[in-house]
């Protein structure tokens, strides 16, 4: 066999390979186009399977964890799963709504008690008792930053106390801080009560001349989390800060 014959055969081989590749590409393009046309047709003719009932007995839908099933069985299962998902979501929303209703009622009662308080001491007493009994707080610590003398049921720091600056750096604004704290942060916020705290909500107190912290701790590490809402905590902080401000003004008069 000469070199000319080899070149001729090679040309035929390449031509055949090119034709096969082009045929395969055209087949894949046609198949993709056909699927799109079928899908478009079914969307515009939702009654197709009503007119082609016999076809339903022949269709099988692959499923990851079970045997093949008819289209109707598959659709029924999809609808059943969606119903269960929506039902679970509805129950969760109802649970949240009931919980919020309870919080609003408890906050209302606490507000009335703070309005009736005749002194800072009675404010702190009412706050401690209410948070423990109605809100199931396991550890409550109140820090007041003021030049006033020590108060019952609260820690009092002078404005120039280094801990006051550390606390401001920890909070970084007026938003409550929720989650698990390190040992240094726990000691700063809870003092001698820190050993029992596994998660906490730190609520800044800042209204008028009232400055400080309301620290609420839990024995459950997951009770307070960074991703939970803080609307209720901010309302609580605003209410307590206002009550403290009122009594601080009265004590200075």
Residue 26 maps to a domain: no
pLDDT of residue 61: 60
Indicate if 159 and 180 belong to the same structural domain.
yes
Residue 32 maps to a domain: no
Indicate if 148 and 230 belong to the same structural domain.
yes
The mean per-residue pLDDT over the stretch 107-112 comes to 91
Instruction: Give the model's confidence band at 47: pLDDT under 50 very low, under 70 low, under 90 confident, else very high.
Output: confident
Indicate if 228 and 134 belong to the same structural domain.
yes
Pick 41 or 221 by higher pLDDT. 221
User: How high does pLDDT run on average in the chain?
Assistant: 82
CA distance linking residue 134 with residue 102, whole number of Å = 10
Residue keyed to tokens 């515009």: 44
Q: Do 236 and 214 meet the contact criterion of CB atoms below 8 Å apart?
A: yes
Indicate if 43 and 74 belong to the same structural domain.
yes
Indicate if 158 and 216 belong to the same structural domain.
yes
The count of structural domains within the chain is 2
Domain limits at 63? 39-116
Instruction: Give the model's confidence band at 88: pLDDT under 50 very low, under 70 low, under 90 confident, else very high.
Output: very high
For residue 119, what are its two tokens? 């002194």
Q: What is the pTM of this model?
A: 0.65
Residue 185 maps to a domain: yes
Residue 123 maps to a domain: yes
């Amino acid at each position: 066999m000469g070199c000319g014959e080899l070149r001729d055969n090679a040309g035929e081989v390449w031509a055949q390979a090119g034709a096969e590749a082009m045929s395969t590409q055209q087949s894949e393009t046609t198949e993709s186009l056909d699927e799109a046309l079928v899908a478009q047709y079914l969307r515009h003719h939702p009654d197709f399977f009503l007119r082609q009932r016999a076809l339903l007995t022949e269709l099988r839908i692959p499923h990851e964890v079970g045997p093949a099933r008819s289209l109707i069985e598959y659709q029924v299962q999809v609808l059943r799963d969606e119903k269960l998902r929506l039902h679970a979501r509805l129950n969760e929303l109802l649970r949240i709504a009931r919980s919020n209703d309870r919080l609003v009622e408890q906050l209302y009662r606490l507000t009335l008690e703070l309005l009736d308080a005749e002194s800072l001491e009675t404010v702190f007493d009412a706050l401690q008792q209410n948070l423990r009994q109605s809100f199931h707080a396991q550890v409550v610590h109140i820090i007041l930053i003021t030049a006033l003398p020590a108060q019952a049921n609260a820690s009092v720091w002078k404005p120039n106390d280094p801990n006051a600056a550390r606390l401001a750096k920890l909070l970084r604004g007026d938003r409550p801080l929720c989650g698990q704290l390190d040992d240094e942060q726990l000691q700063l916020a809870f003092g001698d009560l820190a050993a029992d705290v596994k998660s906490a909500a730190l609520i800044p107190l800042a209204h008028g001349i009232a400055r400080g912290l309301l620290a609420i701790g839990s024995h459950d590490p997951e009770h307070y989390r960074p991703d939970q809402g803080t609307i209720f905590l901010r309302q609580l902080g605003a209410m307590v800060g206002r009550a403290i401000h009122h009594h601080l003004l009265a004590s200075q008069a």
